[in-house]
Amino acid sequence: MQTPRPAAAEVARQVNAQIREIAESLAAQGDESHEYTFFCECGCLQPLTRTLSEVTREGSALAQGHPASRPSSRNEQQEKEPPPLEPLPST
Ligand SMILES: [Zn+2]
């Protein structure tokens, strides 16, 4: 199926979560200013160089101007439900 973006965004979030875990364990050893490579969580998977504190502050890793794609926790005002089927007028 051709749904690369949501899947890629999910992959990016999971990979970034792993990187953050590693970075946090290293930060505990006083390596807080080290820069890691994260992947843009909008789904484009652009590599981003961020420190742990930057990603923690922003809550996610996103390239400049890229929208966060969180289908479950975000109001998608552009997505509309299809209109209900109207019964055919009986003549
Ligand atoms: Zn992106």
Q: What is the mean pLDDT of residues 4-30?
A: 90
CA distance 55 to 11: 17
- Quote the mean pLDDT of the chain: 84
Give the percent of the chain with pLDDT over 70: 82
Q: Does the model's pTM come out above 0.85?
A: no
What would the mean pLDDT of 5-21 be, rounded to a whole number? 93
CA triple 22-67-6, angle to 5 deg: 70
Q: Could you tell me the distance, in angstroms and rounded to a whole number, from the CA of residue 38 to the centre of ligand 1?
A: 11
Q: Determine the distance separating the centroid of ligand 1 and the alpha carbon of 71, expressed in angstroms.
A: 15
Q: Where are the domains of the chain?
A: 4-58
Residue 89 Cα to ligand 1 middle (Å): 49
CA-to-CA distance for 36 and 81, rounded, in angstroms? 41
Kindly report the backbone phi and psi dihedral angles of residue 3, in degrees, each rounded to the nearest multiple of 5, phi listed first.
-130, 65
Average pLDDT over residues 64-69: 88
Q: How far is the CA of 33 from the centre of ligand 1 (A)?
A: 23
Residues with CB under 5 A from ligand 1 (ion): 40, 42, 44, 63, 66
Tens-place pLDDT, residues 1-11: 554 578 999 99
